């Protein structure tokens, strides 16, 4: 840099006499004519000016050399280095983590993007005083309680399970001027063909951008805030609880009001009933049909410490007979349902109340029932001719849940409540068909720190069949859970 300054000075000095030759002679000559006697012919004024300029150049060169010597012997400090000033909007401040792992910033842009890895490890020690279906011994479902003595062996059953352990990731931010959200989460509780297994089970897998949400998450027909603070995995039987693949349109999403509609994956539970006894081949060929998606909707009001929600569903429940000519008999019926829920926090307690009713909605319930079952009409009496006609009917259902969550203090909490599901069986369902399931629980939980929880829970359940047979069970469960989140490690 200083070499450049020296060269610049030298260039300016050399150029000066040239400019003087072009612009100043006439002026100097005029002044000499008017004010001074004629100079001797042997003295040239321009030579004197050149000698003076050369002396100045030599002095400047000496100064530059002295400055370079001083620079070489002096350490450079950070404050001496010129810095290019970059606007904050043009280049974000450096961070210890990549942009997609940052917490929410103070303004728009990449600093508003969030990414979190979360989950927990949990172990449950369970003891049943009676007995349940071994495939479901790690969850308490009244529908899995036998109504025949020793159906699953003698009373008394112990289990230790890690199936509730969970892992998930979620991200949110802004893309294209609209908010976005994505989530992927699973636990280890096998269901369906994996019932009884400790294996991966998908809970959430969806993306949202603006008003559109697509993927698997809580059904719009469901009110997730009705689920109490229990440690049993399955929870109250009388509430709607289903995570379902769907395409959702969010009409309004405000802090005080939410409204949305969706089309969801259909899944019908068909009960062949007594048809198997009349015609085993016909009964074994009956299967559900799902030609149309389920339509769901939800409106929700919420505020400080409360919410109220109304949800609805319309669905087609169909059946046909595989292997029969033209797959007949076949048919369908209309399923519908209304779900009402509210939760209110007052002081140390939160009350959770819900009621659901409809026809053909059992597959959306947390436990119990069938969507479609045979309804038969018999005309005539023996010994005369008898005409038997039948059809598939959407089975009526009613469910209720009432729970109180109570915080004794900062570290101790309890939850106590009761729930049931009851179906109005058709006249051609078997005597062993599910009719009513009751569920009650109470617990005491200790949370010494926000990331650790342990406690004990007492549960009671009872099943009643269509024919009147009953079975019940009492269970005690101890759980220990340690949670984690990447938010504990991220740096703003």
Measuring CA to CA, which residue among 333, 217, 214 is closest to residue 270?
333
pLDDT value of position 188: 97
Measuring CA to CA, which residue among 419, 300, 257, 404 is closest to residue 344?
404
Check if the beta carbon of residue 338 is closer than 8 Å to that of residue 360. no
- Which domains does the chain carry? 102-488 (2.40.160.10)
Q: 35: buried, middle or exposed (CB in 10 Å: 19+, 13-18, 0-12)?
A: exposed
- Coil, strand, or helix at residue 347? coil
- Coil, strand, or helix at residue 85? coil
pLDDT value of position 320: 84
pLDDT value of position 327: 77
166-175 and 178-189 strand pairing:
antiparallel
Q: List all residues 6 or more positions away from 153 whose beta carbon is below 8 Å from its beta carbon.
A: 131
Question: How many other C-beta atoms can be found within 10 angstroms of the C-beta atom of residue 9?
Answer: 16
pLDDT value of position 251: 98
pLDDT value of position 58: 76
Cα separation, 202 vs 86, in Å, equals 46
- Coil, strand, or helix at residue 44? coil
pLDDT value of position 47: 73
pLDDT value of position 127: 98
pLDDT value of position 276: 63
Question: Per residue of the chain (492 residues), what is the pLDDT tens digit?
Answer: 444 444 444 444 444 444 334 443 343 343 334 444 444 454 566 677 777 777 777 777 777 676 666 655 555 444 443 433 433 333 333 333 333 344 444 334 445 789 999 999 999 999 999 999 999 999 999 999 999 988 998 899 999 999 999 999 999 999 999 999 999 999 999 998 999 999 999 999 999 999 999 999 999 999 999 999 999 999 999 999 999 999 999 999 999 999 999 999 999 888 877 766 666 666 677 788 888 999 999 999 999 999 999 999 999 998 887 877 777 777 889 999 999 999 999 999 999 999 999 999 999 999 989 999 888 876 666 665 655 566 889 999 999 999 999 999 999 999 999 999 999 999 889 999 999 999 999 999 999 999 999 999 999 999 999 999 999 999 999 999 999 999 887 644
The model's pTM is 0.75
Find how far residue 167's CA is from the centre of its chain.
Answer: 12
Q: List all residues 6 or more positions away from 207 whose beta carbon is below 8 Å from its beta carbon.
A: 180, 181, 182, 183, 213, 214, 215
């Amino acid at each position: 840099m200083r070499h450049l300054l020296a060269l610049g000075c030298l260039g300016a000095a050399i150029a000066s006499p040239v400019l003087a030759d072009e612009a100043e002679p006439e002026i100097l000559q005029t002044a000499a004519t008017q004010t001074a006697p004629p100079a001797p012919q042997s003295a040239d004024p321009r030579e004197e000016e050149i000698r003076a300029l050369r002396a100045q150049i030599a002095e400047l060169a000496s100064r530059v050399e002295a400055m370079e010597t001083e620079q070489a012997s002096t350490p450079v400090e950070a404050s001496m280095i010129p810095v290019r000033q970059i606007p904050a909007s043009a280049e974000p401040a450096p961070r210890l983590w990549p942009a997609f792992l940052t917490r929410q910033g103070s303004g728009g842009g990449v600093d508003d993007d969030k990414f979190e890895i979360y989950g927990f490890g949990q172990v449950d020690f369970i003891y049943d005083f009676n007995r349940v279906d071994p495939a479901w011994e790690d969850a308490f479902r009244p529908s899995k309680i036998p109504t025949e003595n020793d159906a699953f062996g003698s009373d008394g059953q112990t289990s230790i399970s890690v199936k509730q352990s969970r892992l998930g990731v979620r991200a949110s931010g802004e893309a294209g001027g609209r908010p976005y959200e994505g989530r992927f989460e699973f636990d280890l509780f096998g269901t369906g063909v994996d019932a009884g297994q400790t294996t991966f089970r998908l809970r959430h897998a969806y993306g949202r951008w603006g008003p559109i949400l697509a993927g698997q998450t809580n059904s719009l027909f469901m009110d997730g805030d009705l689920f109490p603070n229990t440690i049993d995995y399955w929870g109250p039987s009388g509430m709607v609880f289903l995570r379902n693949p769907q395409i959702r349109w969010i009409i309004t999403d405000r802090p005080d009001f939410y409204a949305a509609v969706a089309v969801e994956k259909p899944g019908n539970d068909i009960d062949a009933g007594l048809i198997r006894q009349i015609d085993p081949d016909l009964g074994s060929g009956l299967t559900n049909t799902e030609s149309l998606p389920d339509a769901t909707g939800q409106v929700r009001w919420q505020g400080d410490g409360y919410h109220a929600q109304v949800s609805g569903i319309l669905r087609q429940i169909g059946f046909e007979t595989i292997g029969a000519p033209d797959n007949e008999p076949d048919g369908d019926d209309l399923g519908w349902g209304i779900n009402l829920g509210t939760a209110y926090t007052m002081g140390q307690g939160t009350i959770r109340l819900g009621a659901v009713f409809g026809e053909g909605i059992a597959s959306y319930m947390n436990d119990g029932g069938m969507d479609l079952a045979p309804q038969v009409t018999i005309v005539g009496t023996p010994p005369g001719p008898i005409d038997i006609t039948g059809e598939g009917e959407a089975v009526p259902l009613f469910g209720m849940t009432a729970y109180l969550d109570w915080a004794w203090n900062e570290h101790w909490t309890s939850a106590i409540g009761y729930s049931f599901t009851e179906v109005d069986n058709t006249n051609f369902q078997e005597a062993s068909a599910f009719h009513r399931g009751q569920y009650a629980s109470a617990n005491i939980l200790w949370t010494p720190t926000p990331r650790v929880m342990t406690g004990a829970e007492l549960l009671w359940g009872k099943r009643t069949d269509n024919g009147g047979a009953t079975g019940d069970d009492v269970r005690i469960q101890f759980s220990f859970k340690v949670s984690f989140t990447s938010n504990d490690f991220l740096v703003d």
